[in-house]
Structures are given as C-alpha cells and as structure tokens.
Amino acid sequence: MEKPESQIRQVELEDVIFENPFTNELRGDELLTNTRRQVHNAYYSRVFPTPTAAPKTLAVSEEVRLLLGITSDVADSTEFAEIFSGNAVTTDMDPHAMCYGGHQFGNWAGQLGDGRAINLGQVTGIDCNSYMLQLKGAGPTPYSRSGDGRAVLRSSIREYLCSEAMHHLGVPTTRALSLCSTGDNVVRDMFYDGNLAEEIGAVVCRVADSFIRFGNFEIFSAREDIDGLRTLLDFTIKHHFCEIDDNSPQKYVDFFKEVVSSTALLMAHWQRVGFVHGVMNTDNMSIHGLTIDYGPYGWIDDFDPDWTPNTTDRHQRRYRFRNQPAVGHWNLAQLANAIYPVVGNVEPLQEALDEYEEIFARSWSDMVAAKLGLVEHSSDPSQRVITDLFSILETGEIDMTIFFRSLSSITVGPNTNIDEITALLKSAYYEPESKPQVHWESLRSWIKHYCDVLRNQGVADEQRREQMNQVNPKYVLRNYLAQLAIDSAEQGDLSMLYDLEKMLKNPYDDQPEFDKWFVKRPDWAKDRAGCSMLSCSS
C-alpha cells in the first residue's frame, strides 16, 4: 500500500496485536490512491489515516481499555495518542475503509462507504473475542464524496459518551475506546445555512465485533455481483455467526434469522429507555444488532412519540420515536431483498422476516411489564394498565425517565394515598398547569387501577422497587447535558465530560452527587442548538 505524501509514522503499541481477516480474505480495491470515486469489485479500499498537527488523548474508557488488554501505561503514552488520533499506525495494522451502499430516508442512495471512518484491524480481547477498532474522523477515504473525512469535538464527545452510556444501560451498542483531539481545526456548516465556522477537530476510536452493515450486502446485490455477495455472506457467517454450521443456502436464511432477532431486540431496548437514533438508514444498521453511528440522537424528554432529533428529518419524521420499530422491520426487508439472489427462494426469507413483529412485541411487552413492576402482562387488568398509561404519557408532556423512576418509589398498601402519588408523578410534567381537569382525573383513575394490580400480585414494595430500578434508569445522556460538556471542553475544561462519564457508568444507581442532573430538561435548553434537535454535521 502506498503511503500518503506526508509519510505517516509507524510506531509500536506494546502487547496490542492487530489481525486483519477482512483484508486478508476479501478482495480489496485495486487502486491505492486516496481519491473520491466509485469503487467496484471490492469490499474495501486500503487507506491510511491523515496525520494530525498535535494529537492529544482527552479520554479513555477504562472498561474498554481493560477489555482489549491495554495497560494504563500504554494508554498514557505518546504512541497511544498518535495511533488513536490517526497520526501513526503500527506495523501489523492494515488500515482500510469499507465499501457499502444503503437506503437513506427510504431511498436507495447507491455507494456510500466509510467516508470518515478507517478500520485499523482486529484485536483479541481478554474475553477471547475479536474486536474491530475503527477511527472516526481520521481523514478522507475514497468514499468521502464531498466531505473531508474529519470529525469535530462536539460530535466526537457525543459519540464517546453515548457509546459507553448505552452499554451501561444494557442496550446493545458499539463501544468507544478513546477520544482524542487532533490539534487541527475543521470547518463546518452546523445548520447547513451557509454560516461556516472553524471547530476543534477530534477522533473517536470505536470498537465492535465488526462494522459490517446491511449496506455492505446491498451494494453487491444492487450491482448484481452475486458471487461477491455470496463471498461476503460466507465470510460474515464464518467469522461472526460461526454457530451456523451448514453449507447449504439455508445458512444464509439462518444468518438472516439471527439479524432479525437481534434487530427486534435492539428496537425494544431503544423504546425501553426512550432513545431515538435519528438516522436509521440501512447503512447505519449493524448485522450484530448493535446501536451504531451516533449522529443526531437524543432521549425523549417530554414524551412525544413523534419527536425526532434530526433536523434533516424534521418534516418527514421518518425516524421519529414511535416509528423506530417499523423502520427496523423495513430495513430488514431491504436486507432480505439484498441477499435473496444467493438464497434463491422468497418464502424462507419472508418467514424469517415475519418473526420480527412477534419478537419485538414479546420483548417490548416484557420490558414494559418490568418497567411497571408487573409480574405478568397478559391479563386484562395488566394490559389495561399498560395501554392507559401510554395514552396518559402521550397527552401529558411528561418526562419519561423521571416518571418511571418516580413510579418505583410509590408505596402500595391497604390505604394507598392517590393524592400523594399524583403529586409525586406531577413533578415529571413539563407544564402541569396547562393540563385540563380531565387529564388529572384520568391519571388518578390509572393510579388507582395500577395500585390494585400491584396489590393483587402480592410483591413486596421493596422487592418491586428494586426490580423496577434495574430497568428504569435514573440518569441518561440528555442532549443538554452533552452540550454543556461540549461547551466546557471547547474552552479546555474536561471536568464535566469526566463527571458525565462517571455518572453514566451506573445509570440505575442512586448517585447523590449527580442528583442535580436527575431533573427535567431546563427551559433554556428547549430550543437551543445542540440541546434539542441536531443536524448530521460532524
């Protein structure tokens, strides 16, 4: 592989060995020049990161560092900062950007690919699993189109924090090893309104089983390269779905079944914690059922099922909160269409796809029941509790996180005080004074019915409270909190970044030192840039 004119440095990273099955076993781009272009007959293009001016490590996830067997001394070293900012590589890396396509906002977009991400290679963790390490923001690739391949500090902080926050919430996700600044400024038009501004450049090192997406298969199918499609499927099953031991076309159906199941479970988890991805294009869907590509995401503050954090989607609202499960199903249908030429039979793929709704419904019902402390969710009284609650949430402008967390603290006894519980839950409302009397009557009626159901199931308050607090987080990465950390970091103060990272490691625990952040979104953040909706600008 040709090195860039700037001759990127090669350094050693003690005790960290990179392996490269993706580039060793699959066909690469014959052209080695880093120029924007359509790449055909290749799964990836080899490309070096672009060296940076003054790399500096800002944060390292201790859990991921330990998972990958990286010592604290190595993480503190100059070599670490250089490698994970894109300023250097090791001799056993094979840096590359993947070729893939995708449906964006429901329309086929053709070739997309890793436009700002460069895969370094795989590392074996202390759990004996292999993890791909990828730099986001490390410079242009052949897939960058009109972009510069860089990332800014604000989006990098959001990705670093949210990757680890989601993991600790129990939501399947890519992880983040490190956050580095580059010493370079990056020009961005944050609102796509012609106002260009220089921002601080940064790089996140992302970690996952792989970064293979639905779009990796779609591009080969769209180009009618069936042999290439089959080869990619075989590679994926061999390395990432090795429990599938079948040499017939049925193995491709079994692979699809696994992706259907993990995607349905992921959608249920997103709904459980109130997370909205914002850009559920097929190129942002992981075959491992992981949350991937943290762009304009957000948590619903006032419970609005039609809210999307993505300014690009403000009119269509395709990726709004309530629509995420349906979009997951639609995206899986595109994956089924993509691999059909290798399977050669529609029926088994359709049967596998039809299982999605049942898996999601079962997972979601189990999670909602757990959030409410219900022993079961199939009886008529329990079903009524669930149905009536979401009607109340939708009409009440209620903070979802605070409401469910507060609900766990109620006492259910022979003399339940409905007024006290109503007052407790009222604290989760954004504008309680604007609600009509009929709303409060509905809430009081729901509380009474809910308490009756809890009382009949016979679970002690303390036991129920403990169980509910294991699925209802107290702390989530609200957009305004991330923005405050960004504001401070851009001024050189990383203290809030570190505080949020610490808080989000234990989102279900009471942490008195962080109770100041167990509050509703402040009024000043409702419409402020970065605190409500966000653009895809990175």
Q: Where are the alpha helices (DSSP H) in 175-298?
A: 214-222, 226-240, 250-273
Q: Which residue is listed with tokens 């670093």?
A: 160
* Sequence-separated (6 or more) residues with CB below 8 Å from residue 234: none
Which of these, 115, 336, 340, lies nearest to 214 by C-alpha position? 336
145: left (phi over 0), alpha (psi -120 to 50) or beta: left
Which amino acid, one-letter code, is at 531? C
Q: Which residues pair with 204 in a beta bridge?
A: 136, 179
How many CB atoms within 10 Å of residue 448? 13
The separation between CA 63 and the C-alpha centre of its own chain, rounded to angstroms, equals: 18
The SS3 of residue 58 is strand
Which of these, 486, 105, 62, 60, lies nearest to 283 by C-alpha position? 105
Catalytic residue among 29, 94, 283, 313: 283
Which of these, 477, 60, 81, lies nearest to 300 by C-alpha position? 477
Report the alpha-carbon angle 531-532-537, nearest 5: 80
Q: Is 36 exposed, middle or buried (CB count within 10 Å of its CB: 0-12, 13-18, 19+)?
A: middle
Residue 283 a catalytic site member: yes
Which of these, 450, 482, 134, 34, lies nearest to 298 by C-alpha position? 482
The SS3 of residue 198 is strand
Residue 314 corresponds to which tokens in the numbers above? 């403000």
The separation between CA 467 and the C-alpha centre of its own chain, rounded to angstroms, equals: 25
Which amino acid, one-letter code, is at 82? E
Instruction: Determine how β-strand 9-10 pairs with β-strand 88-89.
Output: parallel
Give me Rg for the CA atoms of the chain.
24
**8-state DSSP, 373:** T
User: What residues are labeled active site?
Assistant: 283
